[in-house]
Structure formats: C-alpha cells, structure tokens
Chain A
C-alpha cells in the first residue's frame, strides 16, 4: 500500500544556486522514478537556530510523495551519500499536514541578520 511521506532536505547554502538546482533536480528525478511524486515546496534560504558544522544558513526544500515502505531506506541512502545535503528528515505525512505552511517568504535572510 502506498503511503504519503514528506522529506525536508537542507542543502548547503554556500554552494552556488546552479549546484543546488542540479542537486534538487537529481533528487526530484529519483522521487519520480521510485515513488509517486506529488510536489516540491521551496521553503527558501533560512538561518539555522544553531550552527551545523560551522554553517549558519541552509536552503530548505520539501518533497511530497507517496510510496511503499521500503522507499524510506532508499531515500535515506540517497541523501546520506550526497555531500551537498547538510541534513534531511523524512516523515510519514499526516492528513492535516499543510505544505503551504512550509513556504513562508523567507527570502529576506540577508536583510534580517546583516
């Protein structure tokens, strides 16, 4: 039975935009291939609440998809091997989850904490 899942991926913000876009494209392709891909929500560039490996900012992406139970392991493997991914979290999606809440306009990162 296919169940709804969501994965939040934090890409390294020090990488150029093209590199992040390429990595995002690869991951989206992986989801299209191995799962019933629904949508991507770009949560934007955000400041971390605490530094992760001397890094202070990251680019957050949310992927929504449906898949079988063994998909979680595959996603985990795919993301662990990726060096441009700082952190990731995959969870089973609840019915009430609102993808819209994940996408506030967080583009003003530079202005907020200059």
Chain B
C-alpha cells in the first residue's frame, strides 16, 4: 500500500517565539482566509494554545477594523 509521507507542521508562533498580537495587521491577515474566516489549525499547523490566543486576537482586530468580518468587505 502506498504510504504518503507528510511533513509535520510546526506552530509558526512557537517557531518564531512570538505571541499573536491583534495590533499586528500583517500577522492577523496571514491567519485569515479570503472570506475573512480564521484559518483552522489543521491547515496552519498552529498549536492549540496559540490557536486559542490567535482567535481572540483576530476578533479584537476585527473590532478595530484592521481585519474584515466578511468577504465582501475584503480590501
């Protein structure tokens, strides 16, 4: 049987030893899809701890209009 080898995903925040920051617009945009949804950890490889913090940060960034709530408001 064909065995697929997969690269183990590493948490970007752990790798760079930084924390999710709602004020960092570029960081927030990189963890949001084109539709404006938060990228799931199965795709981004973020660990559970940082995914939880990231979700809070994205929601704060949305309130401050740094990141859109929905797709039609995308830049």
Interface residues of A, Cβ cutoff 8 Å to B: 8, 10, 43, 46-50, 52, 58, 60, 62, 87, 89, 91, 94, 96-98, 101-102, 104, 113
Residues B60 and A10 in contact, CB atoms below 8 Å apart: no
A-B contact count (CB 8 A): 53
Contact of A49 among B18, B23, B26, B67 (CB under 8 A): B67
CA distance A91 to B64 in the complex (A): 13
CA distance A62 to B21 in the complex (A): 13
> If the complex has contacts A49-B68, A50-B68, A52-B65, are A94 and B73 also in contact, measured as CB distance less than 8 A?
no
Residues A10 and B19 in contact, CB atoms below 8 Å apart: no
CA distance A42 to B75 in the complex (A): 23
Q: Convert B40-75 into 0s and 1s, putting 1 for each residue whose CB lies closer than 8 angstroms to a CB of A.
A: 000000000000000000001011111111000111
Residues A8 and B19 in contact, CB atoms below 8 Å apart: no
